[in-house]
A and B are shown apart, each in its own frame.
Chain A
Amino acid sequence: AQSVTQPDIHITVSEGASLELRCNYSYGATPYLFWYVQSPGQGLQLLLKYFSGDTLVQGIKGFEAEFKRSQSSFNLRKPSVHWSDAAEYFCAVEVRSNDYKLSFGAGTTVTVRA
């Protein structure tokens, strides 16, 4: 069965420090991968996506993610975190069987301390 795992439920990081959020997937074919962010009380916003080509993907708000096929991973990074990055982050995989659907990880909550 296809699945998406975000191993870290909660991460606390200091403002200005780097951030890395982990995502592992279990899926037979080459996946289409997404990272979304949800700020408190807000909807889901797409940060970036990977379909093919260059395995390092740039997104909005200074985020990037790297696809590693050998590790079945799609980790999200940001070199220097701002207080406004405090949010919940979701990794998702587009699953293709009879049709398309998006399967999500359980999410990682990021707290930013001053």
Chain B
Amino acid sequence: DVKVTQSSRYLVKRTGEKVFLECVQDMDHENMFWYRQDPGLGLRLIYFSYDVKMKEKGDIPEGYSVSREKKERFSLILESASTNQTSMYLCASRTPGIQRGYTFGSGTRLTVV
């Protein structure tokens, strides 16, 4: 089974800080994703990547960037954290083919103060 690991379960950062959220998968998957989850809004796609150094904007990319230097690692970057970025962040990896599916990490609860 795929394992998707997010490095931090809880983070507290100050407004204006640069924040890095890390995600690692162990199955050499090409497609990886970053979502944020807010009550009443479900999961909204921030960015996704379909290969090393390849990225595409999702539905809410403003205020975020991403980095994928190695296939197993997909990082979400908040260039200058703001209070409206307080949220739960979920990383996912896509299994292709017959076993097609999406595996999610356990999430990072980010609070910006």
Contact = CB atoms under 8 A, between A and B. Distances in A.
B41 A99 contact: no
Given A51-B100, A99-B31, A99-B56, A90 B42 contact: yes
A111 interface: no
Interface string A75-102: 0000000000000001010100011111
B40 A100 contact: no
Contacts, number: 53
A49 B105 contact: no
A102 B33 CA distance: 9
Interface in B36-53: 40-45, 48, 50
Interface string A10-53: 00000000000000000000001010100000111010010100
A102 B42 contact: no
B42 A105 contact: yes
A71 B20 CA distance: 42
Contacts of B103: 46
Give the interface residue-count category, chain A. Answer: 20 to 34
Give the interface residue-count category, chain B. Answer: 20 to 34
A103 B45 contact: yes
A42 B58 CA distance: 24
Contact of B33 (A36, A46, A101): A101
Interface of A: 6, 9, 32, 34, 36, 42-44, 46, 49, 51, 90, 92, 94, 98-107
Given A99-B48, A104-B35, 9 more contacts: A51-B100, A90-B42, A92-B102, A99-B50, A99-B56, A102-B33, A102-B94, A102-B102, A107-B42
